[in-house]
Amino acid sequence: MFAEIVLNKETLFWFFALSGSAILFIQLILNLFGLSAHHDIGDTDIDTGEIDTSNFKWLSKQALSGFFMMFGWIGLSCIKEFEFNIFLSLAIAFIAGVLAMFVSGFIFKIARKLHSSGTVFKIEDAIGLEAMIYQQILKKDKGKILISLDNLTREIDAIALNEEEIPSFTKVKIINKVDENTVSVIPIKIGDL
């Protein structure tokens, strides 16, 4: 009879320990290969379908699987290693699971703050700057210019403001934005320098 009770107590903790560990391992593999869906419980706004990242969400898949894993392994340790009774083991395992859930939630909150938009280039920032013709601008046609902006060299489509032909390696000044990928330029004369 006593062996059956011990087996049942251990079975509960083994279930949580192995299932939580397996789920975390599967999530890790899916994240490594980019196959993970990034929706957490409570993160989706039903009206708009947008994901809300402004609030701190404790109840995520990672947090739940971390809770299950920690609950199981700590409960097994309490029963087998420290020989605590079932009630004390359950209490300690629950506290450890909740702690693991909050720690993982805190880590993911910090990780969300590490988001960077990267180097965003706005073509408006190039207006008024000098550039070099990279690909000749033909009459009423596009060419390409090279411009150094924010310590990066960029290639931008360009047209001549006066619809004139401008040969390669000519210095030009960017006058205005034509569209999101094109600017208009005028050649810089030697006397203008």
- Count up the domains in the chain and report the number: 2
Domain boundary among 113, 148, 172: 113
pTM (whole model) above 0.75: no
- Whether residue 52 has pLDDT greater than 50: no
Phi, psi dihedral angles at 86 (to 5 degrees): -65, -40
Q: Which range of residues forms the domain containing residue 26?
A: 2-113
CA distance 53 to 44: 9
Question: Are residues 80 and 16 part of one domain?
Answer: yes
Q: Is residue 89 part of a domain?
A: yes
CATH of the domain at 176: 2.40.50.140
Structural domain contains residue 179:
yes
List, for residues 125-146, the tens digit of each pLDDT value. 899 999 999 899 998 899 999 9
